[in-house]
Structure 1
């Protein structure tokens, strides 16, 4: 029974809340930044929970947390979610933002506009919606009574709950039990971050924090066209254009370099 239970939880965790061939994204290698090292956290009952370090292979340039220039209209302190570019911004002063890579499920594209964080939970419990139980009872019916917070919970270590007009939007920004999903599209769930990222974002944002979720048109306006790589990540189309131009330049210059070598 435990094995079947874990299979169902993992299934939810893995799927959860142009003609030009895309360029492969460069994956990070080597040392993991300190912010992504392993951590020991207090679980829902005060028990210690070990959070593994994020593997370097998951920390490509768009996935790992970094300070970047920000050109949106939102005020400092605002959280901006772009489910199409698969990034989240925490807007800062001086035209900058801290950018986080995210994974996006179906529900992550079902809400746009403004909301506020009205509820924050550490190691949150999770209950599937009635629609989820009705459409996929073989997967979700066993969790109708709720799944307690912990290492088996697909919401991960923290969750931020978005409300609009005093009502729950059922839109969540949360952690994940599957760090390999960050930067990719999934079949269910909302917006997930590495557990280390959601833990720090959780501490830095209070209740009442404004959140803006971009529409596809907004994403195109601020991020530009995007393409999906063979690995399932998205990158700006301009990066592929630059890579293609560089490759073409290299090919055309190669014979010139060879001809410059004197014959022997």
Structure 2
């Protein structure tokens, strides 16, 4: 069975090293159609699944602020993968959970990878992986990509999620925000762009946040709803940030100041054939 998997996450989280560990020497690179942005692609076969793995450009949010971030989200919005693997830095989990909450709204199967756990351990940072998994409702896998640690566990999780085809539930935000987003979804039900492959909830959130690509969809909304979009967007950002902070505080077991980049971290590059040491 063929399946498309997108690696997604902030810049500088070891995502490309993880990509190389997963795909080995199969990687190719090409520009995303109509852009100068490079996208790496590799293949791996595991338990009957032929995986096509795409390494999306680094993005801090689904609200694109540059061409690279726009390409990253198009890999999710228009190309509709069978699964997203979000790669987060275990030494700074708090900063990555907001993106996790965004990705949970898309209606796509999701795995959260806590990468660089080797550095987190040296820094005295410990995360309750099982509790985080329980709270989010998505598989959470710990890896140290530079060492090849956790790769087998990640592939096992990928197979399990592909078999179940289960997407996470959207984050549980305050009821007032959910109510306004539901109204927005109703108004969008007959206006969904044909090329878009994300949930109505995700689209409603993007419109509330003033996403430029979908601003035209807000023009025909009822006046009362349109007038409240800006305040809804502000409330949504704050609610996500507060929820991310709450989750972080519940799962962090011990926390110390993160280490500075080590020599090996500075030497790692993004090759097609492997690591340069």
Fold shared, TM-score > 0.5 on shorter chain: no
Structure 1 or 2: more strand by fraction: 1
Structure 1 or 2: more helix by fraction: 2
What TM-score results when the alignment is normalised by the length of structure 2?
0.25
What TM-score results when the alignment is normalised by the length of structure 1?
0.26
